[in-house]
Amino acid sequence: MRRVRYSVAMSLDGYIAGPKGEYDWIVMDPDIDFGALFKEMQAHAVEIAIIPVLLGTGVPMRPSPAKLAKLRLTKHRVYEKTGTVLLNYVVT
């Protein structure tokens, strides 16, 4: 069975889009190698890029009510130019 990788950009307060679905707040860090990320598309089950912005409202990363999911951090990186933090987890 193939495993799914969920890769998403999220605001610091937990939103993946603004209240009207907008995503113009997501900064594109020049140091992120998207080609290399796409080549890694094996089963990492969750990858979150946390963008240093507070939206206050919008589309939440996980709508309520959400089930408990235990995760184990497998990789992390801080992109200094934009303050973006990339976190990779596996669902345990």
Ordered by where they begin, the domains of the chain are 5-91 (3.40.430.10)
Is residue 16 within 8 A of residue 59, CB to CB? The reply is yes
Rounded to the nearest integer, the mean pLDDT of the chain is: 82
Q: Is the pTM of this model over 0.85?
A: no
* pLDDT tens by residue, 57-73: 999 988 788 788 888 99
Residue with the two structure tokens 């598309």: 41
CA distances 31 to 12, 67, 90, Å, are 20, 34, 24
At 4-39, the pLDDT tens digits run: 567 788 898 989 899 999 989 988 888 877 666 556
